[in-house]
């Protein structure tokens, strides 16, 4: 599953994990995306949405 929110476009962020001795290795931060059934153009459709979009009401879930 792609780690991408289909509403806001939030995707994986990358950076460095820094140890106590200041050694840097690459790491990733994945957004919390959920696969939900939502109303898109008046019809229910399965999309991947981040939890911030769900909580803020940007997505109307299908029941």
Rounded Cα distance between 47 and 36, Å, is 6
Quick: pLDDT tens for 8-58.
Answer: 999 999 999 999 999 999 999 999 999 999 999 999 999 999 999 999 999
Parallel, antiparallel, or unpaired: how do β-strands 13-18 and 24-29 relate?
A: antiparallel
Q: The CATH number of the domain where 3 resides is what? A: 2.30.170.40
pLDDT exceeds 70 at position 1: no
pLDDT, position 63 = 82
Number of domains in the chain: 1
Q: Phi then psi for 54, rounded to 5 degrees?
A: -65, -45
pTM, two decimal places: 0.78
Rounded Cα distance between 7 and 49, Å, is 6
Token pair recorded at residue 61 = 């879930």
State the residue range of the domain holding 21: 1-63
DSSP H/E element including 13: strand 13-18
């Amino acid at each position: 599953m792609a780690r991408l929110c289909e509403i806001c476009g939030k995707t994986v962020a990358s950076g460095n994990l820094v140890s106590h001795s200041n050694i840097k290795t690459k790491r990733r931060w994945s957004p919390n995306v959920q696969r939900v059934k939502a109303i898109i153009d008046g019809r229910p459709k399965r999309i991947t949405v981040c939890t911030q979009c769900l909580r803020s009401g940007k997505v109307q879930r299908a029941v």
